[in-house]
Amino acid sequence: MRAVVQRVSEASVQVEGKTVGAIGKGFVVLIAVKKGDTEEHARWMAHKIANLRVFPDEAGKFNLSLLDVKGEALVVSQFTLYGDIRRGFRPSFTEAAPPEEAEPLIEKFIQALREEGVQVQSGIFGAMMLVKIFNDGPVTIILDKE
């Protein structure tokens, strides 16, 4: 699994002009599933993200997690994170899991984040989405679980 985690002051996702998920302070998690990923990968990723310390403490140091600040997560599936452009200019997505494998693992990831104690909103798997992100900092972290 691969995730791009952005610390946000607020974010939302729309499908066909309707808001399907919105959060205040927290993380937008753009997440993709690779062929061969498992539920263990989803649980590991959820635990890592819930406890990722990128929120400032009183001294301004990155010492607080999403759980510490009672932040929320907006999860958006994005298979294009596995786009390979090492050759040519058109990305290849051969490493990305097919939808029938990816969707259950995205749902498992969301469930695991909730089990960690995070309030979670999400986009709609496979839909064309408009994601509004107010990146705070900006702070953006890339996580891979191979």
Residues labelled as active-site residues: 78-80
The residue whose two tokens read 């051969």 is 94
DSSP H or E stretch at residue 40: helix 39-51
CA-based angle 141:60:67, to the nearest 5?
55
6, 133 in Cβ contact below 8 A?
A: yes
What sign for the dihedral angle of Cα 27, 33, 36, 39? Answer: positive
Distance CA 93, CA 146 (A): 16
